[in-house]
Structure 1
Amino acid sequence: MEFRIVEKEELKVVGISWNGTYSQAKIIPRLFDIMEKRLEEVPFQTKDPVLIAPFHSRESEFTYYVTTPVEEVKEVPEGMVGFSIPRKYYVRTTHLGGPEEVENTYLRLFNWMEEYGYEQDHQALSLEIFPKQQNAAGNLQFEIYLPIKMYKNN
């Protein structure tokens, strides 16, 4: 598993949001189904073949968005949200495996950050970026971006 520090430019997104406890997180795959059915409603989409899932983690709950990138945030469809994610430095890795292995990918990412002296910026959104077409065998492949408070050269 490779970990890298990257800078992502500002992203503009439109999509759906959900807020709940960690024990309710099993609903998240359904959010992707809902968003994929509503994609045609979103104007100004970019040609990027991805869904972007920004999220805020808190101690007992989190907010998860399933969005599509857009050129501009205008004419947001009813029941959706639109916003900009500022340019930011992130630690990036790729998860490849079953849904049951996602937690281990995050634990390895957190351990790497601690080992190399990076601190997560809990005020900023974390990102998961998924290809619009997933592997039908049940394996997931997506990029994880955790925002960091500092940037240091290794």
Structure 2
Amino acid sequence: MRKMSGNVDIAEFMQVRTVKMEAVSLVGLQGRDLDDQKRLFGELTARVNEIGNRTSDSPYLVIPGDFRPIVAVEVTTLGEVPEGMIAFNIPEGDYVAFRFEKKRVGDFWSNICTSENQTRYNIDLSQPRFETFSVELQSAAALEWYIPCKRP
């Protein structure tokens, strides 16, 4: 079902594009459940200088299939992983990028998870999906989620 309460089509509040991505190597922290996200961001901010080879301090939020969130930064190469942290690779492939206002996050997740919208956008929610945080997005009060396309 594409319609939200108030009969708004989710396509009306999002910008959608398909992107081909190279693999991305990350180092950061993993939580036990989705409620750990805020704590993970705080811990990563406090410990980011321990991560060598990072490309920037802008974090990624990755939600794997087991829903144990990962908050991490991109690294050029995987070197030594600091104690208590993990290395994670976002696989190369085709992703659908959904960009929308931060205030619409609840509308987005409650609607993108429907089978109709998964088919419409050809997305695979069983695979790791991620959000990037950049100054540009934060200053625009926007979010951008990348969800893998289903493989043929």
Shorter chain as normaliser: what TM range? 0.7 to 0.9
1:5-40 deviation digits (Å, cap 9, x = unpaired):
1111110100000122xxxx3331221111111101
Report the TM-score when normalising by structure 1. 0.75
C-alpha separation in 2, matches of 1:135 and 1:87: 25
Instruction: Report if aligned partners of 1:51, 1:132 keep a CA contact under 8 Å in 2.
Output: no
Aligned match of 1:104 in 99, 102, 107?
A: 107
1:97-148 deviation digits (Å, cap 9, x = unpaired):
23xx4231124444544335x14152x3111111269859xx9533101111
Deviation for aligned residue 1:41: 0.6
Deviates more, 1:28-37 or 1:124-133: 124-133
- What is the match of residue 80 of structure 2? 75
Does residue 143 in structure 1 map to residue 144 in structure 2? yes
C-alpha separation in 1, matches of 2:50 and 2:61: 18
C-alpha separation in 2, matches of 1:9 and 1:126: 14
Change (3 A) 1:44 1:69: same
- What is the match of residue 65 of structure 2? 57
Instruction: Report if aligned partners of 1:14, 1:67 keep a CA contact under 8 Å in 2.
Output: yes
Change (3 A) 1:95 1:57: farther
Change (3 A) 1:105 1:82: same
Higher helix share: 2
Instruction: Report if aligned partners of 1:92, 1:146 keep a CA contact under 8 Å in 2.
Output: yes
- What is the match of residue 27 of structure 2? 14
Three-state SS of the structure 1 residue aligned to 2:73 is: strand
Change (3 A) 1:109 1:11: same
C-alpha separation in 2, matches of 1:80 and 1:113: 32
Change (3 A) 1:121 1:89: farther
C-alpha separation in 2, matches of 1:93 and 1:120: 14
Amino acid in structure 2 at the alignment position of 1:85: I
- 4+ aligned runs moved over 4 Å, structure 1: 132-136
- What is the match of residue 9 of structure 2? none
Change (3 A) 1:73 1:96: same
- What is the match of residue 89 of structure 1? 94
- What is the match of residue 120 of structure 1? 124
Instruction: Report if aligned partners of 1:130, 1:141 keep a CA contact under 8 Å in 2.
Output: no
C-alpha separation in 1, matches of 2:50 and 2:100: 29
